[in-house]
Chain A
Amino acid sequence: MGAVSATADERVAKVSVFRRLLMKPELGAVIGAILIFLFFSFLSPVFHSAAGIANWLDPASTIGIMAVAVAMLMIGGHFDLSAGVQIGSAGLIVGILTTHFHLFIWASIAVSLVVVLAIGAFNGYLVVRTGLPSFIITLATFLMLQGLNLGLTKLIINTVQVGGIREEPGYDSAKAVFASQFTLFGQEFQITILWWILWTALATWILMHTRFGNWTFATGGDRNASRNVGVPVKSTTIKLFMIVSAAAWFVGTTEALRLGSMQANAGFGRELIFIVAAVIGGCLLTGGYGSAIGAAIGALIFGMTSQGIVYAGWDSDWFKFFLGAMLLLAVLSNEYVRRRAATQKKG
């Protein structure tokens, strides 16, 4: 732990490019991603065509936006099991406010952000206030939100699915930002892919080049020691939870606008995928170590694998097995590379 955490001395010291590369937490994930890309490209020509790439980048991008935020939180030493359900909450708020209360769509999106940020702050506050494991606290919010999403949706609109977002004024402009497509090399790509890159870049910059980033690593590495040297552990933790919520808001809004409707059960069970993506990308479950780029690549691996299995034409009854096996392979190769890198660094 903390081998790469950026203390001033290490950053100033001259290290060869090659060695710096090896020391990166995301290196294993990069190699895993390349292997999986080659593997599925070999199995199916569509996989590496423009249409194929656009298609597997699509699920990778939504998972990626979440995984990057989740990785930041994990580096800070916490989990958020409510991350998946918050996607549903965010989308439902946007949907209900626009279609039922006829609020202008951008205003609904803003309200949704405020509400979801409040949920994140609530998570963070409870965690720092009680000192209980975030695992338990966010499991509780996960369950509560699951009930709220369903209960409130049914209470307000008397059904479990908000539809008709497409017909509301302002939809086109909101869709252009969150859920449109852009053309590259004659192929349409989802705009979420660009947002994914942007989120990853932003998170990387925050983690590597800001004080908040340093505090994040420090908080996750050793909470007490950080507190003793004056790191604002509490506010850092709360902000990290709010970052995850912001990502959930973004993805939830994207889905509501893209599908034109939102189901009350949206997002349940997806939180684990985000954590998995972050771990594939080199985050430690214990905190203090990891990278945003790694998490983004973890999401890429997940996207490639889930779609690659379909392109390869494997029997879909075995889908989950193959998915699990591929992920295991990715993590193992990741671990192998990381260990090799660590020993070479010493030698």
Chain B
Amino acid sequence: MKKNKFLVAVLALPLALAACTSTSSSSDSSSAAAPAEGSAAATAAASAAPAAGGEGYGYNIAVVTHGGAGDAFWSVVKAGAEKAGADLGDNVQYQSDGDPQKQAQLIDAAVSQGVQGLVVSMANPDALKDSIAKATAAGIPVITINAGGDKSKEFGAMNHIGQDEAVAGNAVGAKMAEAGAKNVICVIQEAGNVALETRCQGVTDGLGGTVENLQVDNNDLTGAQATIKSKLQADPSIDGVVTLGGQMAAVAAAAVEEAGSSAKVGTFDVNSDVTALIKDGKVLFAVDQQPYLQGYMGVDLMTLYLSNANTLGGGLPVLTGPSFVTPENVDQISELAVAGTR
């Protein structure tokens, strides 16, 4: 709860800044559009001195994530990062690749391009270790977001902004137990992602019953639906399904219905389909780790550090979740999900 207050304070900051910058909106919008033009614009702006609030900060900040192309979640992170760039007048370059090797190369490219700040998600921290070391060696401050919080400090990053997967998983397990579930399957849609395994482990700890993991393919949703259905048919005592990504919740809800099972579905991450399912009562709840906030705050905190040497969190990760989407607050959030910011 203490952290929540913290978050509110942090949230208020960019709003105040945005209010400041909006007075000179014409120059702001031009610099916000710059990142689309790529490296040429970036280097040109790099020589500009960090300007005072009125004209925007003009920092070059690279946001390099592991989000797969076409992933709904990461498009929200990107939207957040770009909005922060626009609000603060920074040049934000967002790039992503799900392959750790390629992500490392993207970081290297950003470093050699001379960005002033680096915001990175670390799904596979060890693969990025060298690249991040290069960045810190070059004097570029690094903030990690979303995944890789436990390695963040070790790699020399300033702080980590994200959801602690174990904490969130624990909360989900507790919520499922509250709903009466005892035998739960945890659907993993991306093999080898440490964060997803940690979530399922957290669910196990929080539930206090049995949790079994089920691996499915995120790019083949009808196949995933059949697999979940198979599991429900094979073991009728399953009374809960936890999914780890928005789109999989819709698939699991359909599988539960088709299998004639009474299992409750709870999910991580929110999108417009999930909010509709929560309204219909087909999904019990969704954990929102507020990806928009991760993108936004990554850029925002970086800007605060570059301009005012501020850091946040006192060496502990800044948590953006779990916040729950339930039938009570779903209406408001669904409007925002349609707009692509939740």
Query: B69 and A146: CB pair below 8 A?
Result: yes
Binds A, one of B19-27, B222-230, B288-296: B222-230
Whether A44 is near chain B, meaning CB under 8 Å from some CB there, is yes
Q: Which 5 A-B pairs rank lowest in CB-CB distance, beginning with the nearest?
A: A265-B70, A264-B70, A310-B230, A316-B215, A159-B340
Is the pair B219, A154 in contact by a Cβ cutoff of 8 Å?
Answer: no
Which residues of the other chain, B, contact A266 by a CB distance below 8 angstroms? 70, 219, 221
Main secondary structure, interface of A, reads helix
Contact indicator B273/A260 (Cβ below 8 Å):
yes
Contact between A264 and B69, CB atoms less than 8 A apart: yes
> At the interface, yes or no: B247 with Cβ under 8 Å from chain A?
yes
B139 at the binding interface (Cβ < 8 Å): no
Complex interface: stretch among B57-65, B150-158, B231-239: B231-239
Contact mask B48-90 → A, CB, 8 Å, 1/0?
Answer: 0000000000000000000011111001000000000000000
Contact across chains for A259 and B69 when beta carbons are under 8 A apart: no
Is B191 an interface residue, CB under 8 A from the partner? yes
Known: A160-B72, A317-B215. A255 touches B222 (CB 8 A): yes
Interface residue A238 (Cβ < 8 Å from any Cβ of B): no
> Across the interface, do A313 and B220 meet the contact criterion of CB distance under 8 Å?
no
A310-B231 contact given A150-B69, A270-B219, A316-B214, CB 8 Å threshold: yes
* CB-defined A-B contacts under 8 Å, sample of 23: A46-B230, A46-B233, A55-B230, A56-B230, A58-B225, A59-B220, A59-B223, A160-B71, A161-B72, A163-B271, A163-B272, A255-B222, A261-B250, A263-B221, A266-B70, A268-B70, A269-B217, A307-B227, A313-B234, A316-B212, A316-B213, A316-B215, A320-B215
Q: Would A310 and B214 count as touching, CB distance under 8 A? A: yes
Cβ-defined contact, A268 with B213, below 8 A? no
Chain A positions within 8 Å of B188 at CB level? 316
> A residues touching B (Cβ–Cβ < 8 Å)?
44, 46, 49, 51-52, 55-56, 58-59, 62, 146-147, 149-150, 153-154, 158-161, 163-164, 188, 255, 258-261, 263-270, 303, 306-307, 310-311, 313, 316-317, 319-320
Chain B residues with CB below 8 A from A259, complex form: 221-222, 250-251, 254
Expressed in whole angstroms, the Cα–Cα distance for A114 and B20 within the complex equals 51
Closest to A254 in B: B222
Given contacts A158-B340, A161-B271, A255-B221, contact A311 B234 (CB under 8 A): yes
CB distance from B276 to the nearest CB of A (A): 8
Contacts of B130 in A (CB 8 A): none
User: Within the assembled complex, what's the spacing in Å between the Cα atoms of A62 and B213?
Assistant: 25
Is B39 engaged at the interface, CB distance under 8 Å to the other chain? no
A265 touches B233 (CB 8 A): no
- Closest A residue by C-beta to B73: A160
List the A side residues contacting B72 at CB < 8 Å. 159-161, 263
| Known A44-B234, A159-B340, A255-B221; contact A265-B75, beta-carbon cutoff 8 A | no
Write the chain B residue with the least CB distance to A181: B258
Q: Does B95 contact A (CB under 8 A)?
A: no
B218 CB–A CB distance under 8 Å: yes
Query: Which of B225, B233, B340 is most buried by chain A, counting CB atoms within 10 A of its CB?
Result: B233
A50 to B147, CA, bound (A): 43
